Amino acid sequence: MDLSALRKLLKDKPDLNPFNDKFQKDSYLDVIFKNLNYNEIANDKLNELLKILPFLNDNFKEYYTYIKDNIFSSNIKYGQLIDLIFVIFNRNFLVVTKQIFEETKANNIINQKRSFSYRIQTLDNSIGKVEVAAALESDIDALIYVVNFVRYFENDPINIDPNKQPVHPIEISKRISLSSNYFNILKSIYDDSIWNYGYWNLNESVSKPRIDVIFDDTEILILNKVGLLRLQRNTSSNFILAATRFENDNFYREFISDVIKNNCKEKRIKKNKKE
């Protein structure tokens, strides 16, 4: 597939990336027309995306503000908040592990292939059940966004008011994890469309405007995901297998416990002299 001038420009220019702080809604078209002529843009299938970039940028800014507001209204420390967010994101993995434990006890067989064939209920009931593989992949990417954002804010202390009733910490963590998953989906679609030769179509003829993202060759998307999915599946499946055996095999559990104890040696911390 040919790399069009417009696609190359969208790849190379940070100030044309709607998920970048450098993007400016009032000047992004100036950047484009400074580098390309009208015909180059008009004849490119990707030109419909130019209408949608401000909408994507608005979502990026809303997500940023939403995360920030929830962090600073949590009334708990950064470390506690991060711990809770990890717990929320780890939920899907624990649900899958529990299902495999129950199946193993019932059938006395560990079926590795079924590890990722389950469908689990999401935290958002409006979405319903999703495939485990998709949920775990999305959770990992979303968690990266959350941790990066929290690191960005951590120099600004959260004011802990002991007299203020905090919003339930679990509720705050759920809000952050759900919004991060939604943001991850939107950004992933954009990245895939730019780097894997997709294009956008804004359908304004219907009562509610609809955005379609179209890929002429979906095999590119599949091939690009195969390596990542295999790595994640192999890593997660091996943990699930080990955890299942740890749960059901007393000898294995005692052996692992002994190994851990033997490798955990006590260390004496030297005392520093006060000057």
Under 8 Å between Cβ of 176 and 146: yes
Q: What distances in angstroms separate CA 220 from CA 70, 84, 102, 159, 243, one per listed residue?
A: 38, 36, 37, 48, 35
**Angle (nearest 5°) at CA 91 between 88 and 95:** 165
- The maximal CA–CA distance of the chain, rounded, in angstroms, is 78
Q: pLDDT per position in the chain (275 positions), as tens? A: 457 899 999 999 999 999 999 999 999 999 999 999 988 898 888 899 999 999 999 999 999 999 988 888 887 888 888 888 888 878 767 776 676 667 666 665 555 555 555 666 666 666 666 665 666 667 778 888 888 888 888 788 777 777 776 567 778 888 888 888 889 889 988 998 998 888 888 877 767 778 888 888 777 666 666 655 565 556 555 666 666 666 666 776 677 677 666 766 555 544 444 44
pTM attached to this predicted model: 0.71
Under 8 Å between Cβ of 179 and 66: yes
* CB neighbours of residue 16 within 10 Å: 22
- Here the tokens at position 17 are 């990336």
Cα 256 versus chain centre, distance: 32
Give dist(CA 113, CA 225) in Å, integer: 18
